[in-house]
Chain A
Amino acid sequence: MSGAEHALRRISAVRGVRGAMLVSAPDGLVVSESSMEDVDGRAIAALAASLAGRLRRAAGGAGLGRPTVIQLRGETGTLLAVPAGEELLVVAVGDRETNLGLARLELLEAARGIA
């Protein structure tokens, strides 16, 4: 198992996380994914990469530097995304019961290991 796959499995093991993936940031394509059950991984990858790109421009425009963690809360769950270098994005989707603190730590750890 590659380091990226191992990192994605660790993220998926966090309580409430429904799946995790590594996304090519410029293309919005899935590079690797782990147990994305009942989730359209292709759509998540495309939309998360688009969101991350726009937020990066917005943060840059506001003088905030580059986003380090993106957290999008919906009515039934949360999407987390962490840039891993210039080209990749670590993304996780979780339900309302997700342990967000631990999930964020795992995403940041994965991004450090991959970048």
Chain B
Amino acid sequence: MRVLEGWVSGPLSRFLDESAARLVLLMTSSGQVVAQHGFTRSVDVMSAAALGAGIMASTGELAHLMGSPRFGALVHQGTEQGLLLSGFDTPRGRWIGLVAFGPESSVGIVQLFFQQFTDEIAAATPPEEQRGPVLAENFEHELNASLRALFGR
């Protein structure tokens, strides 16, 4: 498990223990990765984050066209793996969770503990630090620090 901010570790660790999820990707609604578990290649994380955020944006727009509030979750049940993609509100804006699970778990278990996880995240979110403007000389340093935190390299 890799997290950008330490306070996410506790709730995510409990979710992984309870749900037996294989892969988890936590991101902002713009696709910025906050935490990941189970991915080994950075390119896979970035692709999954972009696709997940894109799917949520598309389904949100679809809901808008249908005159509905946005969809809460999207579940894809495959023969070997299932996928849950769900948005949730945090004090830092809307985040998205992408969870892949196998036959050792179930969509009911994953949904149940994902709800607990999002409640814990909402309760544990610290106030956002005031950040200065992103300067070109800091950008590469911050990017490298984030990549190290997420992939340990």
Tell me the A residues contacting B by CB distance below 8 Å: 23-24, 26-29, 42-43, 45-47, 49-50, 53
Contact = CB atoms under 8 A, between A and B. Distances in A.
A27 to B, nearest CB: 5
Interface stretch (B44-52, B88-96, B108-116, B137-145): B108-116
Q: Is the interface of A mostly helix, strand, loop or mixed?
A: helix
A26 to B, nearest CB: 7
Nearest to A24: B108
Contacts of B77: 27
A59 B105 CA distance: 18
Interface in B102-133: 105-109, 111-112
B112 A42 contact: yes
Contacts of B106: 26-28, 46, 49-50, 53
Nearest to B82: A27
15 contacts: A24-B108, A27-B77, A28-B107, A28-B109, A42-B108, A42-B111, A42-B112, A46-B108, A46-B109, A47-B109, A47-B112, A49-B106, A49-B109, A50-B105, A50-B108
A103 B101 CA distance: 34
A28 B111 CA distance: 10
Given A28-B106, A50-B105, 13 more contacts: A23-B108, A24-B108, A26-B106, A27-B107, A27-B108, A28-B108, A29-B108, A46-B108, A46-B109, A49-B106, A49-B109, A50-B106, A53-B106
A29 B112 CA distance: 10
B103 to A, nearest CB: 8
